[in-house]
Chain A
Amino acid sequence: MKPLRLRRLSAQVALVPTWIIVIFAYIGTILWTIRISFTSSGILPKYDFVGFKQYDRLFQSSRWTISVENLAIFGLIFVIGCLVLGFLMAVFLDQRIKGEGIFRTIFLYPYAMSFIVTGLVWAWILNPTLGIQQAVQNWGWNGFTFDWLSRGDRAIYLVGFAGMWQSAGLVMAILLAGLRGVDEDIWKAARVDGIPPWRVYLSIVIPMLSSMFVTAVVLLAIAVVKVYDIVVAMTGGGPGISTEVPAKFVIDYLFNRQNIALATAAASVMFVAVLVVLGPWLYNQYFRQDRRAS
């Protein structure tokens, strides 16, 4: 046999493309982005150093604070909506019902579609002049109004709602798999003791599924931070700037408003926020125990 060092050489060579990607596309870009955020760059990058000036500007900017607020509203509706609806669907599907496969297929198909498609479809249904509002008025309820999509103070709720429609099926799929793993004996014991099913779900099943809930929440949270496509498709950030989100803020300032220092400052804030939240979870999930056992 060849000496160990030589044997492993081909493994090292095979990883060269990945090393290049890791060094340049991941580590390099992050450092570069952070570096630019401390400069006074406008359209073109300048490599001076202005301290936290861009960060000051960022947090003074109402567009950014609105973006962050919207992210919170969207996130709450999206995450809670997906969890509640997904859990209910999983529980009801787990009752030995007929046609389970069909229901499962229907609940999950939106997840196969892009946020662009989701956004466009719901924008059409919620269209203030031709959508639901008009349909209900045609049915005879003349006073009915539902124009949230054109209202600056309400539109973001509908974006969250459409997002929930797209992703609730994912939570359903994850939790249904979890429910199928719950021991049959628990149900038998509960029945013998005369405990109502909802109590069993609340006190025994939900705690048993906690790791799956955590997984679902992490997945949804990642989608929340990245939210961009659905806003572009559904409202374009409007009316006005009322449905702006941080991801869109960064893209707009990078490519349309040519203020790369401010954009990279915003991106850096997103980076730090995600790192603070996800770091402990990742560490727990992948690095604490024996990695082979995971």
Chain B
Amino acid sequence: MTAETQPRGRKPRRLTASRIGIYAFLVLAAAFFLLPFYVMIVTSFKTMPEIQQGNIFGLPTDFTLKPWSTAWAHACTGVNCEGIRVGVLNSFEIMIPAATLSILLGAINGYALSFWRPRGGNLIFAVLLLGAFIPYQVYLYPLVRMLSKVSLYNTLPGIITVHVIFGLPVMTLLFRNYYVAVPVDLFKAARIDGGGFWTIFFQLMIPMSGPILVVAAILQVTGIWNDFLFGLIFAGRDHLPMTVELNNIVNTTTGTKAYNVNMAATILTALVPLIVYFVSGRWFVRGIAAGAVKG
């Protein structure tokens, strides 16, 4: 799917009533989509007494930064009161190796499947394709048992393994479809020059894969960062990712809820994928389209 950049709708006429209507709709829609972000931000700078007065949409009158420092370093997840910063570190520790490994494995798979046509390749492809759509609940229990058999359950390598396993279908699909579009003659020329499986992969295919590597990185970085379920089940208490810690902070506190701290922590958790989104811009759209739509 290619997203063209030039609008090609009807020619606009002067500022007619319908033009005003179009802009009115767009501005209203934009307000609707921005509202939660606005509420998050203003709430995170309010004091609790001000929040209790109940003007959720108002700007902070007693502007304070304290909720942010509390969210970062002192908020409690059940018994631990070390803030969200532990989760940040955990999320990076999980995300970086998991994204790297799944991208590499996906690239190897896509390359092997599209050029070498190994025996059973179609079967692998079919199972992965189907596997990508099946609810994770079907895999979970046996996977927990298997991982504890090899002492990986509740460990960092364990949660990384799980992300690699479930990232594999989309990554394989992505790279397979990218390499299918590469002219076979190029591959054949490299074969005649005596290139073997790995030589061609590292010296020809990977250097050619820039755009698809970016797309894969966007998909995996945001996907793994935003994961909740796998982190909850497989990460173990010492490696809980940020999403799980955030939910623990917000939803298990007893006593009065510190809404300002909760919102600051929520923004902090959303920050990495939002930065990826804003920095990668159109690549992000291409990424989700490629990853989700056709692979």
Contact = CB atoms under 8 A, between A and B. Distances in A.
B137 A250 contact: yes
B22 A92 contact: yes
Secondary structure type dominating chain B contacts? helix
B250 interface: yes
Contacts of A106: 30, 33-34
B130 A282 contact: yes
A180 B7 contact: yes
B267 to A, nearest CB: 8
A138 interface: yes
Interface in A1-33: 1, 7-8, 10-12, 14-15, 17-19, 21-22, 24-30, 32-33
Contacts of B233: 251, 255
B139 A25 contact: yes
A169 interface: yes
B8 A180 contact: yes
B263 interface: yes
Contact of B226 (A113, A181, A191, A251): A113
B96 interface: no
Given A165-B36, A232-B247, A14 B108 contact: yes
B139 A94 contact: no
A55 interface: no
B196 interface: yes
A243 interface: no
B63 to A, nearest CB: 19
A206 interface: no
A243 B116 CA distance: 49
Contacts of B146: 24-25, 28-29
A32 B142 contact: yes
Contacts of B288: 111, 170, 173
B245 to A, nearest CB: 10
Nearest to B9: A94
A129 interface: yes
A114 B285 contact: no
Place the interface of chain B in its size category.
35 or more
Contacts of B266: 117, 120-121
A17 B34 CA distance: 44
Contacts of A236: 251
A8 B116 contact: yes
Interface of B: 1-4, 6-12, 19, 22-23, 25-26, 29-30, 32-37, 39-40, 43, 51-58, 105, 108-109, 112, 116, 118-121, 123-124, 126-131, 133-143, 145-146, 164-165, 168, 172, 177, 180, 191, 196-198, 222, 225-229, 233, 243, 246-247, 250-251, 259, 262-263, 266, 269-270, 273-274, 276-278, 284-285, 288-289, 292-294
17 contacts: A11-B118, A18-B128, A21-B164, A27-B127, A88-B29, A95-B22, A97-B23, A109-B274, A115-B228, A117-B243, A120-B266, A121-B40, A121-B263, A130-B54, A182-B8, A226-B135, A286-B129
Interface of A: 1, 7-8, 10-12, 14-15, 17-19, 21-22, 24-30, 32-33, 36, 45, 85, 88-89, 92-97, 100, 103, 105-118, 120-122, 124-125, 127, 129-132, 134-135, 137-138, 165, 169-170, 173-174, 176-177, 179-182, 184, 187, 191, 197, 215, 219, 222, 225-226, 228-229, 232-233, 236, 246-247, 250-251, 254-255, 260, 263-264, 266-268, 270-271, 274-275, 278, 282, 286-287, 292, 294
